[in-house]
Amino acid sequence: MNRVQSHTLTPVAAWVLLCALLNMAGWILSAMGQLNFAGYCVVLTLAGAVTGWWWRTKSLTLRTGFRGRRFKRAFPLAFALVAVLALVGGLLHAPNNYDALAYRTPRVLHWLAEGGWHWIHTDFQRVNTRGCGIEWMTAPFLALAGSDRFLFLINAVSFLLLPGLSYSVLTGLGVPKKVGWHWMWVIPTGYCYLLQAGSIGNDLFGATLALAAVDFALRSARERSAALAWLSILAAALMTAGKAFNLLLLLPWGLALLPAIGSLFRRPIATLLVGAVALVISLVPTALLNIRYCGDWTGLKAEPVNMSTGEPLLHLGVNGLLITLHNLNPTINPFAGVWNGWIDDQIPSSLAPRINAQFEDAGAKFKLGEMQMEEAAGLGCGVSLLLLPVLVGRIRARRRTGSEWIAVLLAPAFLVPVGTALVMIYFFTQSGLGCPARYLAPSYVCLLAPLLCLPRASELLRRCWWRKLAMCGFALAALLLIATPARPLWPAQTLLRLLHAEASASPLLKRMWTVYSVYGERTDGFAPVRGVLPPDLKVLGLVTFDDPETSLWRPFGSLRIHHVTIADDAQSLRRRGIEMVLVSEYIVTGNENSTMKQWLTRCDAEIVSSFDLTLRATRGSTRWHLVRMLTTSAHAGGIIQ
């Protein structure tokens, strides 16, 4: 490697190193009991000093690859406009990704309140069993700023790195440079990436790291660089910490890294040190803690989901159909309700019970949404429609000798896509999840590479109609960003209120009001509860399961939330210093098969206030009760308001 290359740092490399630092810091500070404001100040100060020394002694330069003139061309300009819309949405709207509000942000708030990672006492085990990759990225924001307002910047950075990574991986897998250049702008507009660019979901974060791992692996093999191989190992480790599903992608990553093994062996001590760091920042710590606390490294014993059950071929067939439907579903689909009613009647009565038993409801019913949402989106119809013409036309395979075929079959351009396809097929023989297209987010680039190597992909670049179709795809992506209920760029609630949509006789207007209002209020859904809490209250118990708990912590640091399980009683609550509890009647009556009166009697409490809260558009309004622990059991039954 020449001097310029060895002293050049790319944004992707800097991002991987920063993610590795913050993941290491999270576990180390937790072990020291110093996961707090002071702990992060020390870590970031030391990291800044070391970085400054390294930068100065090694004469490093940051090569961004940014060229302003390229944005005069149609594809880069269209991508830039779409990217601006995505980031403006993140700036204008508070975070409202449901999973983040329900468990990813709350778990970090629990850890910060305790001074480190700990197994949280709860019935909602998702706060314990999931990987901590993106959580250790959000922890400094929450500890230092005391706010989740700018957590979307993690995904914003991930999104802006996608074009360059897509180009590098595609061309590294044999795609012609001109084809790779055009598709590097198209693929990131896939809805699974675009809708999370201004969000705090964790799919985009993991997908970017997965691409970085493969890219560094391919480059390390070409350049025989141990440094690039080390970066690849760190990115792969972070990929698994971001989402346990990404463990499957270690196979294609390993196949990409295989030719670079020699470079690693030439620097054994440094490679061992990098490997040790990789173990700490990977899923391994979470897996070991899951074994300790629930006896299963995956955490599925504590949090059962539809995995590894049922009939593999049935799973593969259903998931294949779901992926097709979700990727071809229009950006905005006003006929989704008609489809959902029609398809439900078409499922054979002999097959329906088997599918219902093995899949989540949305998957078992083959449901489509009225609009593409980040919780279920795949590439989306814009990118999918651009891909379909690539499949049309003859595939001209030239004759090769036996040795040439061996070289082709052993090349990364063949092994990496095939490895990716194999692990995806395996996953979908096991998965009963309702949104499989979203789980392909880290894999789409590698899966598409063989298609984009076809001669037809190059031919289409010269077709005016295809380029116009691509512009339509960018326009649809922009329309989706403007209309998305999570971060609308139009005054949705104001206009719908003027149309009296909440009380309208039109089902469409009423549905629009429900969706936009729920998303608009989700980030602070428990505000009515906080408004009646005693100002001096320091600890609040919470009976919950998959509810947007983050709202109860606001302003962060002012109130400590303790989960209350169905098995808890009055004695255990008093022992933990809990004087007031917010109780979901939906959870109490649904999980315990009992009444609120029975729960109040067992916990020696009385109701202070009651609330009807709409936290999910699909569930509708649910009843919540703020209860106070009694000093005696004389009035334990309380009065249900």
| Cα(468)–Cα(472) distance, integer angstroms | 6
- For the chain, give the number of residues: 641
- Using the predicted structure, report yes or no on whether residue 271 has a pLDDT greater than 70: yes
Look at the alpha carbons of 152, 134, 109, 514 in this order and tell me if their dihedral is positive or negative.
positive
Instruction: Give me the pLDDT at residue 167, please.
Output: 96
Give the chain's mean pLDDT: 90
pLDDT band with cut points at 50, 70 and 90 for residue 5: very low
- Using the predicted structure, report yes or no on whether residue 224 has a pLDDT greater than 80: yes
Q: Which residues of the chain does CATH 3.40.190.10 include?
A: 527-629
Contact between residue 489 and residue 85 where contact means Cβ atoms under 8 Å apart: yes
Q: Reduced to 3 states, what is the DSSP secondary structure of residue 612?
A: strand
User: What is the third-level CATH fold of 527-629?
Assistant: D-Maltodextrin-Binding Protein; domain 2 (3.40.190)
Q: What would the pLDDT profile of 273-303 be if each residue is shown by its tens digit? A: 999 999 999 999 999 999 999 988 988 877 7
Q: What would the pLDDT profile of 144-160 be if each residue is shown by its tens digit? A: 999 999 999 999 999 99
When pLDDT is averaged across residues 17-37 and rounded to a whole number, the result is 97
Q: What would the pLDDT profile of 529-551 be if each residue is shown by its tens digit? A: 999 999 999 999 999 998 999 99
- Using the predicted structure, report yes or no on whether residue 635 has a pLDDT greater than 60: no
Instruction: Give me the pLDDT at residue 309, please.
Output: 61
The order of strands in the sheet holding 580-584 is 560-563, 539-543, 580-584, 620-629, 605-616
CA angle, residues 167, 157, 329, in degrees to nearest 5: 70
DSSP 488-533: -SS-HHHHHHHTTGGG-S-HHHHHHHHHHHHHHHHTTTTHHHHTTS
- Using the predicted structure, report yes or no on whether residue 394 has a pLDDT greater than 80: no
Q: What would the pLDDT profile of 235-252 be if each residue is shown by its tens digit? A: 999 999 998 889 999 999
Q: What would the pLDDT profile of 455-489 be if each residue is shown by its tens digit? A: 899 999 999 999 999 999 999 999 999 999 999 99
When pLDDT is averaged across residues 484-498 and rounded to a whole number, the result is 92
Give the phi and the psi of residue 504 in degrees, each rounded to 5: -70, 150
Q: Reduced to 3 states, what is the DSSP secondary structure of residue 271?
A: helix
Q: Which amino acid is present at 115? A: G
Instruction: Give me the pLDDT at residue 593, please.
Output: 66
Q: Reduced to 3 states, what is the DSSP secondary structure of residue 237?
A: helix
Instruction: Give me the pLDDT at residue 3, please.
Output: 40
| Cα(239)–Cα(374) distance, integer angstroms | 19
- Using the predicted structure, report yes or no on whether residue 331 has a pLDDT greater than 50: yes
pLDDT band with cut points at 50, 70 and 90 for residue 592: low
Q: How many CA atoms lie within 13 A of 305 on its CB side?
A: 15
Residue 464 backbone class (left: φ over 0; alpha: ψ -120 to 50; beta: rest)? alpha
Instruction: Give me the pLDDT at residue 305, please.
Output: 60
Instruction: Give me the pLDDT at residue 634, please.
Output: 41
Q: In DSSP terms, which residues pair with 539 in a beta bridge? A: 560
Rounded CA Rg of the chain? 26
| Cα(101)–Cα(433) distance, integer angstroms | 20
| Cα(352)–Cα(283) distance, integer angstroms | 36
Instruction: Give me the pLDDT at residue 304, please.
Output: 63
The pLDDT > 70 percentage for the chain reads 95
- Using the predicted structure, report yes or no on whether residue 307 has a pLDDT greater than 80: no
When pLDDT is averaged across residues 369-396 and rounded to a whole number, the result is 87
- State the CB neighbour count (10 A cutoff) for residue 524: 17
- Which residues neighbour 33 within 8 Å (Cβ) at sequence distance 6 or greater? 115, 116
Q: What would the pLDDT profile of 432-452 be if each residue is shown by its tens digit? A: 888 899 999 999 999 999 999
Q: Reduced to 3 states, what is the DSSP secondary structure of residue 195?
A: coil
Regarding pTM above 0.85, the answer is: yes
When pLDDT is averaged across residues 164-176 and rounded to a whole number, the result is 96
